[in-house]
Chain A
Amino acid sequence: MKTNPAVPYLFVAPGFLLVCLFIYYPVIDNLQSSFFSWNSFSPNREFLGFDNYTRIFGDSVFQIALKNNLIHALVSLLVQVFGGLIIAAILEDNIFRKVAPVLRTIYFMPVLISITVIGLLFSFIYNPQIGLLNKLLEVVGLEQFATGWLGESSTAFSAVIAMGQWIGTGYIAMLYIVAIQKIPAELYEAAKMDGANKIQTFFYVTVPQVKEMTFVAVIFTLSQSMLTFADVYVLTQGGPGNSSQVLSTYLYDKAFVDNEMGYASTIANVIFAISIIFYTIQSKILKTGKGD
Chain B
Amino acid sequence: MKKIMMVFLTVFTMLGLLAGCSSNNSSESGSAEGKGVTLTLLHRWPNEPFKGYFDAAIKEFQKEHPEVNFNVISVLNEDYKQKINVQLSSDTPPDIFFTWAGEYGNKFIRDGQALDLTDYAPEGGKWEDTVIPSTLKPFMSEEKVYGAPILMDVRMMAYNKEIFEKLNIAPPQTWNEFMEVLKTIKKEDITPLGLGNKAPWNGGLYMTSLNQRIVAPEVLAADNNRLTGTFTDPGYVKALEKLQELVPYMNEHPNALSREEERSLFVNGQIAIMPLHTIEFPYVKDAQFEWGTFNFPTIEGGKGKESVVTGAPEGFMVSSKTKHPELAAEFLRFLTSQKMAEKWVETTDVISTTKGAVTKENASPIMVDVIKEVEESDDMVIWLDTALEGKIFQPYLSGIQELLNGEKTPEQVMKDVQKAATEVRESAK
A and B: real partners? yes
The CA-CA distance from A127 to B200 in the complex, in Å, is: 17
- Contact between B111 and A41 (Cβ–Cβ < 8 Å)? yes
Counting chain A residues whose Cβ lies within 8 A of the other chain, the interface size class is 20 to 34
Count how many chain B residues have C-beta atoms less than 8 Å from C-beta atoms of the other chain: 36
Q: Are A253 and B113 in contact (CB-based, < 8 A)?
A: no
Across the interface, A43 reaches (CB within 8 A) one of B86, B112, B197, B261, namely B112
Which residue of B85, B254, B257 is within 8 Å of A127 (Cβ)?
A: B257
When the two chains form their complex, are residues A128 and B407 in contact, meaning their CB atoms are under 8 A apart? no
Residue in chain B with minimal CB distance to A152: B405
Contact A148–B81 (Cβ < 8 Å)? no
B253 touches A239 (CB 8 A): no
In the complex, the answer to whether B253 meets A128 with C-beta atoms within 8 Å is yes
Give A196 Cβ to nearest chain B Cβ, in Å: 38
- Contact in complex: A257, B253 (CB < 8 Å): no
| Secondary structure class of chain A's binding surface, majority of residues | loop
Contact segment of B147-155, B305-313, B389-397: B389-397
Task: Tell whether, in the assembled complex, residue B88 and residue A41 are in contact, meaning their CB atoms are under 8 Å apart.
Answer: yes
* 1/0 contact string of B83-120 vs chain A (CB within 8 Å): 00110110000000000000000011001110000000
- The answer to whether A239 touches B252, judged by C-beta atoms less than 8 angstroms apart, is no
Which one of A43, A147, A241, A259 lies within 8 Å of B401 (CB-CB)? A241
Q: How far is the CA of A260 from the CA of B257 in the complex (A)?
A: 30
> How far does the Cβ of B254 sit from chain A's closest Cβ, in whole Å?
7
Q: Is A151 an interface residue (CB 8 A)?
A: yes
Q: Are A259 and B107 in contact (CB under 8 A)?
A: yes
A226 to chain B, nearest CB (A): 21
Q: Is there an interface contact between B390 and A258, defined as CB atoms closer than 8 Å? A: yes
Select A239's contact among B112, B261, B398, beta carbons within 8 Å: B398
Please name the 10 residue pairs, one residue from A and one from B, whose CB atoms are nearest each other, closest first. Answer: A148-B253, A151-B256, A148-B256, A151-B255, A41-B88, A258-B390, A240-B401, A42-B111, A40-B89, A257-B390
List A residues at the B interface (Cβ < 8 Å).
Answer: 37, 39-44, 123, 126-129, 147-153, 236-242, 253, 255-260
25 CB < 8 A contacts A-B: A37-B427, A41-B107, A44-B111, A127-B257, A151-B197, A151-B198, A151-B253, A151-B256, A151-B405, A153-B405, A153-B407, A239-B200, A239-B255, A240-B402, A240-B404, A240-B405, A241-B401, A241-B402, A253-B390, A256-B81, A257-B81, A257-B394, A258-B391, A259-B390, A260-B391
Q: Which residues of B contact A (CB under 8 A)?
A: 81-82, 85-86, 88-89, 107-108, 111-113, 197-200, 252-258, 261, 389-391, 394, 398-399, 401-402, 404-405, 407-408, 427
Q: Beyond the given A126-B256, A128-B252, please list 15 additional residue pairs across the A-B interface where CB-CB is below 8 A.
A: A42-B111, A128-B257, A148-B256, A151-B254, A151-B256, A237-B200, A239-B401, A240-B197, A240-B255, A240-B398, A240-B401, A241-B399, A241-B401, A241-B408, A257-B390
